[in-house]
Amino acid sequence: MPEALAYNLNFLHPLLMWSLLALAGYGMFLGIKAKRTRTADPEARKQLIKGQFAKRHFQIGSVLLAIMVIGTFGGMAVTYLNNGKLFVGPHLLVGIAMTCMIAIAASLTPLMQQGNLIARKAHVGLNMGLMTLFLWQAVSGMQIVAKIWENRPA
């Protein structure tokens, strides 16, 4: 692989993940709106239903799951291609944990559709934890990008 291409691939993962963080924030907004729709009084509910928040939340969640898995393994692949090894540290381990969390949260969807309150609370808890870790990952990821930038080829 040409050295310039391998170097430039280092920046694809951070760009993808920052975009994913923004999309996750939007997905959280839609989830909050979906809950408001479910719990609103009948008059307010009529207005909120028009927004199709639950449907849009489900669709965004599906996209988030797919991109998170691809982004996680893509980041690991680029690191391995460029260095011949993975750097096992907090950023990698938390990224893998986040991928597991989003997969588990998504797997609770059928139970939530059946009205299971425990599944709904677990889904929300997993995703709040995921967002917290995602914000930390953004900071630690930028520290990694800074190191890559400092050691860039001449």
CA 80 to mean position of chain CA atoms: 22
pTM above 0.85, yes or no: yes
Among the listed residues 49, 65, 57, 70, the one whose alpha carbon sits nearest the alpha carbon of residue 26? 57
- The predicted model gives 125-149 an average pLDDT of 94
The total of structural domains in the chain comes to: 1
Decide if 12 is inside a domain: yes
Decide if 61 is inside a domain: yes
Decide if 154 is inside a domain: no
Residue 68, both tokens:
């998170």
Decide if 48 is inside a domain: yes
Residue 2 — very low, low, confident or very high, per pLDDT cuts 50/70/90? low
Q: For residue 149, what pLDDT is reported?
A: 86
The amino acid at residue 125 is: G
Decide if 30 is inside a domain: yes
Task: Report d(CA 90, CA 82) in Å as an integer.
Answer: 19
Here the CATH number for the domain that contains residue 8 is 1.20.120.1770
Decide if 105 is inside a domain: yes
Q: For residue 55, what pLDDT is reported?
A: 97
Query: Domain range for residue 61?
Result: 3-149
Residue 154 confidence (pLDDT) above 90: no
